[in-house]
Amino acid sequence: MEFYQINDLEKLTGIKAHTIRIWEKRFNLIEPYRTQTNIRYYDNQQVKKLLNIVTLLDCGYKISKIAVLPNSELVALIKGVQADVPSNAIITSFINDMIQTMLVFDESLFDKIFSAAVNRLGMYQAMLQVFYPFLHKTGMFWTVDETMPVQEHFASNIIKRKLMSAIDALSPATKFDKKFLLFLPNDEWHEIALLFSDYLVRSNGYTSIYLGQNVPTNDMEYVIKTIKPTHLLSFFISTNNQLNPKLILSQLLKAHKKMICLVSGSQNHLKNLGHHKSIFILNEPGDILKFF
């Protein structure tokens, strides 16, 4: 069984730790476990209950009304309101449901939630409004470094598989004036953003050459000289301090000077890029659409 401190609950649910303590006292909402030094900690069931409450609050319910309900009635209420609620509440519900299923490794239910979000919003908006916020929220929660806890591995691999399936279902390229080369440099393994970019390129009719994770710079030089892409797209997210995006991109631009480089990633890496006429920073996923 997983256990979480109150700071974890704050990051995961969006409810301030101070508010959680007030709800504990005023409504007896959840009863925390205590360490020998009297520090609060919580289990999966308590996390799930708070996530359900957040969803109902977004649907317009008052905490004083829902706090007194047993958990079985909370779950029934969640199921009853999801058909006709404001769109922001539906999005909150999708995200919270995905977190709950991730915590208990329920692949079947995670799959259903993913499909429901895509059916309601379309892949593009589902990625922007549901899946990216979900990944951001769990990333904050887990304080991700080079490796991800097993729950996030579980969730991210399902999302990657779904994106690959959506990419496979797309029609062949119909526009040939632009050619996009997508890759992640050495020691970069976070592939979801690159896969989504691949989906966007292909769904807009352009050619995408997808090389994936951990590609050595020297290999990239050979590929660029061979296919001469109009656009190069990459992400620099790794906490590896040896990663030098400016050096990598400068080396690759020598292989094809007319190429446009589209990059995104952590601010620690992007701030060192400086200004270059052929390098453009993507601040959000939709920015890539400007280059189609």
- Residues 152-171 have pLDDT tens digits of 889 999 999 999 999 999 99
Q: According to the model, what pLDDT value does residue 205 have?
A: 97
pLDDT band for position 144 (cuts 50, 70, 90): very low
Q: According to the model, what pLDDT value does residue 81 have?
A: 65
Nearest CA to 202 out of 287, 121, 124 is that of 124
| Residue 213 φ/ψ, nearest 5 degrees | -85, 155
pLDDT band for position 140 (cuts 50, 70, 90): low
Q: How far apart are CA 236 and CA 243, in angstroms?
A: 8
- Residues 116-129 have pLDDT tens digits of 999 999 999 999 99
pLDDT band for position 85 (cuts 50, 70, 90): low
For residues 164-191, give the mean pLDDT.
Answer: 94
pLDDT band for position 147 (cuts 50, 70, 90): very low
pTM over 0.85: no
pLDDT at 239 over 80: no
Q: According to the model, what pLDDT value does residue 141 have?
A: 54
Q: According to the model, what pLDDT value does residue 145 have?
A: 38
- Residues 194-230 have pLDDT tens digits of 999 999 999 999 999 999 999 999 999 999 999 999 9
pLDDT band for position 31 (cuts 50, 70, 90): confident
- For 209, the 3-state DSSP assignment is strand
Q: How far apart are CA 274 and CA 281, in angstroms?
A: 11
- Residues 51-83 have pLDDT tens digits of 888 888 888 889 988 888 888 888 788 777 655
Complete domains list, the chain, with CATH: 3-160 (1.10.1660.10), 173-291 (3.40.50.280)
**Structure tokens given for 188:** 């970069």
